[in-house]
Amino acid sequence: MNVADLGLPVAVPSTALFTDQYELTMVQAALRSGTADRRSVFEVFTRRLPEGRRYGVVAGTGRLLDAVENFRFDATILDFLTERGILDETTRAWLADYRFRGDIWGYPEGEVYFPGSPILRVEGTFAEAVLLETVILSILNHDSAVAAAASRMSVAAGERPLIEMGARRTHELAAVAASRAAYVGGFHTTSDLAAGFRYNIPTAGTSAHSFTLLHDNERDAFTAQVDSLGAGTTLLVDTYDVTEAVRTAVEVAGPGLGAVRIDSGDLLLLAHRVRQQLDELGATDTRIVVTSDLDEYAIASLAAAPVDAYGVGTQLVTGSGHPTCSMVYKLVARADSNGDGAPLRPVAKKSMGGKASHGGRKWAARRPDADGVAEAEVIGTGPVPAELADRQLMVPLVRGGEVVAREPLDAARERHIAARAGLPMSAMQLSRGEAVLPTEYV
């Protein structure tokens, strides 16, 4: 098996099985009916943002490019599909030769999006493009959901650092992708060593309650930790009595103690009390880290408290109430016959129950107002108006099957900060509301 680097902490061969069975049966039927080579355009978009959210955040693009590059069917996979009776011989032979040779355009990673935004466009033959549907949606739906939650938390946290610590609350490999997406959305560090290994994200973490309980008393535990990690470490002070723990912590580590962590109780009250106590003990530079079931609202409610960093777990990796996006992958245009020269015809499912689609191959641009603040997401199928030509959002990601848009993760993180800064101020409100930009179809 060819071994690929798929954004995992480990090498994994091929992404081709991360696929719904119907993609293969469609390829087989299309090969048989002679339509498999019709030039086709698929687009990824959402019909709506999660309820109350002001904007979405594109994340996972880098992982998606790896997945497309490594989407190959080797003998092990083909034998499985054949044994299951899913493939005929013609399809098997076609899949054995498969690699994606088409083009992909999309919103770059970290960019914001709105209902209808053509987040990704995949162009190729029907058969080569339809196959990628499941894995592309898996990656974008998961990673973008986490990044959107991260972005809101980073708005709430302002300049204070955010630590991602949700690995234990989600699938062990989803956790690695979640750390990555959180970093794109504005987090600073992660507890997840696999994410540190794979994406070079700074890692953090010192001790849990079990470490204090292991020792005969809190002083022994703090002494053991300071001996091992130095006075700059973070001591967890809520195993027994917080006030006593803080006193012991400063006695053991000295006023140069790096930080104390509070993981339970009334964080607002405790933060004030602990800050005062630390200051009285001369530990004026000792920071306070809080980490108890936080979400963006809890973070915001601590804005006036003397808190220096937030650790966020469950609510981050579960998208703060919205663990997935509703991105879909739809055929929007296709040729009437095979071959590169055939003209494209817009297609769309008939609307029923709100599942409407806009047919046609689209461009997208973000129109600024006179002050340079974004005022509309403009989406069209015809020529791009001259005044929007340099405001276009889609960039080439894959050309003729070759990935052309690899970038360091920090580029996506910085892009997100810039994109968010270009939105109207109301984008930063945590309260429920409509998408902060209207979508205009031209």
How much is the CA Rg of the chain, to the nearest whole Å?
25
Among the candidate windows 109-117, 165-173, 296-304, 433-441, which touches its own copies by CB under 8 A? 165-173
Q: Which amino acid is at 340?
A: D
Instruction: Answer yes or no: are the C-beta atoms of 128 and 73 closer than 8 Å.
Output: no
Q: Which of 95, 132, 155, 174 binds its own copies (CB under 8 A)?
A: 174
Q: Which of 30, 18, 4 is nearest to 128 (CA)?
A: 30
Of 29 and 373, the one with the shorter C-beta distance to its own copies is 29
The minimum distance between CB 177 and its own copies, in angstroms, equals 6
Q: Is 184 in the site for its own copies (CB under 8 A)?
A: no
The minimum distance between CB 117 and its own copies, in angstroms, equals 18
Number of residues counted as binding its own copies (CB under 8 A): 113
Q: How far is the C-alpha of 221 from the C-alpha of 206, rounded, in Å?
A: 12
Q: Which of 98, 205, 219, 424 binds its own copies (CB under 8 A)?
A: 205
DSSP of 417-438, one letter per residue?
HHHHHTS-GGGG--S----SS-
Residue whose pair of structure tokens reads 């002050």 in the numeric block: 371
Torsion of CA 126, 132, 134, 139, to 10 degrees: -140
Of 80 and 441, the one with the shorter C-beta distance to its own copies is 80
- Helix (H) / strand (E) element for 399: namely strand 395-399
Residue whose pair of structure tokens reads 């996972």 in the numeric block: 60
Of 216 and 371, the one with the shorter C-beta distance to its own copies is 216
Of 191 and 286, the one with the shorter C-beta distance to its own copies is 191
Instruction: Answer yes or no: are the C-beta atoms of 416 and 151 closer than 8 Å.
Output: yes
Of 143 and 295, the one with the shorter C-beta distance to its own copies is 143
The minimum distance between CB 91 and its own copies, in angstroms, equals 9
Q: Is 144 in the site for its own copies (CB under 8 A)?
A: no
Q: Is 291 in the site for its own copies (CB under 8 A)?
A: no
Q: Is 305 in the site for its own copies (CB under 8 A)?
A: no
Q: Which of 109, 153, 115 is nearest to 318 (CA)?
A: 153
Name residue 346's beta-bridge partners. 333
Of 59 and 155, the one with the shorter C-beta distance to its own copies is 59
Of 308 and 440, the one with the shorter C-beta distance to its own copies is 308
Q: Is 191 in the site for its own copies (CB under 8 A)?
A: yes
Q: Is 219 in the site for its own copies (CB under 8 A)?
A: no
Q: Which of 78, 160, 223, 361 binds its own copies (CB under 8 A)?
A: 223
Q: How far is the C-alpha of 361 from the C-alpha of 161, rounded, in Å?
A: 41
Of 163 and 437, the one with the shorter C-beta distance to its own copies is 163
The minimum distance between CB 210 and its own copies, in angstroms, equals 4
**DSSP 8-state class, residue 390:** G
Q: Is 168 in the site for its own copies (CB under 8 A)?
A: yes
Interface mask (CB under 8 A) for its own copies, residues 7-26, using x and -? -xxxxxxxx-xxxxxxxxxx
The minimum distance between CB 126 and its own copies, in angstroms, equals 5
Of residues 307 through 346, those in contact with its own copies by CB under 8 A are 314, 317-319, 323-324, 326, 329-331, 334, 336
Name residue 236's beta-bridge partners. 261
Of 292 and 392, the one with the shorter C-beta distance to its own copies is 292
The minimum distance between CB 246 and its own copies, in angstroms, equals 14
Work out the number of other CB atoms within 10 angstroms of the CB of residue 60. Answer: 27
Among the candidate windows 102-110, 152-160, 171-179, 419-427, which touches its own copies by CB under 8 A? 171-179
Supply angle C-alpha 78, 79, 81, rounded to 5.
65
Of residues 230 through 269, those in contact with its own copies by CB under 8 A are 238-241, 263-266
268-274: long-range pairs with CB below 8 Å, 24+: 268/301, 268/302, 268/305, 270/238, 270/242, 271/302, 271/305, 271/306, 271/307, 272/305, 272/306, 273/242, 273/243, 274/237, 274/242, 274/246
**DSSP 8-state class, residue 61:** H
The minimum distance between CB 404 and its own copies, in angstroms, equals 23
Of residues 335 through 394, those in contact with its own copies by CB under 8 A are 336, 347-350, 352-355
The minimum distance between CB 401 and its own copies, in angstroms, equals 20
Of residues 36 through 95, those in contact with its own copies by CB under 8 A are 38, 40, 42, 67, 77, 80-81, 84, 86, 88
Burial of 229 (0-12, 13-18, 19+ CB in 10 A): middle
Q: Which of 123, 133, 375, 377 binds its own copies (CB under 8 A)?
A: 133
Of residues 392 through 421, those in contact with its own copies by CB under 8 A are none
Instruction: Answer yes or no: are the C-beta atoms of 39 and 420 closer than 8 Å.
Output: no
